[in-house]
Structure 1
Amino acid sequence: MKPTTRGTLAALVTGVAAAVGAAATPAAAAGTVPVPVPLGGAERALGMELPEVSGQLPVPTPGAPDGPRYTEGRLLPERTLPQLPLHGGLPGADVRQPLPRVGADRFDHVGLDAPASEVRALAPGVALDAPLSAPRAAGYGLPTTRLPQAGVLTPMVRTVPTAGLGLGPGL
């Protein structure tokens, strides 16, 4: 294959990869996926106005765990089984219910807006240490025995949910 053909092929493959990456970025970057709830058929069948309902479902994304930390004087790393971070969210909702006005043909509405809120979590981890100490120079390079150590790294969940309830004219 001639060098110009190889260069053209490499440029073509690079262009296709960039186009595919650019097309996939908005979907991967979206933190939530909108979920509309169609109630139009039920409104026509019942002959009345129903609430408008929509929601958002969060897309959970795992993070990179903190690697094990080696410390002096221990045979095993400080975090034998590291904690795995997970970023996601609580689902959101947007509900608007029409209310009839007394003495007029217009509607007022009651609205509930609870946007999807971010959730950051850490899975539990494990910290272990062997029942032997590190080799000692005073003991001719032999380790000494000691009690084994085991611990559980506590899980963590952090979020700040919000919601708003309102009353207003129009739907």
Structure 2
Amino acid sequence: MGTIESELKTAFPPVVGPAARVLILGSMPGEASLRQQQYYGHPRNAFWPILGELLGIPPQASYAERCAALVGHGIALWDVIAACERPGSLDQAIRPETVRVNDFGAFFDASPGIVQVVFNGGTAEREYRRRVLPGLKLPHREIARHRLPSTSPAHAALRFEQKRAAWRSLLDWLAV
């Protein structure tokens, strides 16, 4: 059991296209996502239902079709943390001393159209501000940032409708 708990978990590469304008950042994929090798793979995570409603992605769309729809709308998807040790799926269980973040300098260099970073919850924002932002060069450090409520089922303080209403602001940032 100790070896399973101390296992290093590794995140996925970004979902991104050449016309990306908005980058949505999570913290680190949970167990269901890691098993499926898909962003937001937990069946009760509200990410895909919310984005599906906002962007007109059919609920029966495959994961590949969902990702293609995001790319087609100028949305990139990634996580702040590249690797960490975390027993289970909760962000609170991430062992801080094991966190390695993704290379955002290289990402922003390769995706110069990004004008907005959107955090899917507080952990993504906190880890980005603490571990990524200080090392970014200009103009990457000045990219607009906004936190939206976590779509995770662990974030039960808001109902689906409230989360969807907050995430509707994503449409405004896409229109800029």
TM bin, normalised by shorter chain, reads under 0.3
Q: Bigger relative contact order, structure 1 or 2, given CA contacts below 8 A and separation 6+? A: 2
**Taking structure 1 as the reference length, what is the TM-score of the superposition?**
0.21
Higher strand proportion (structure 1 or 2): 1
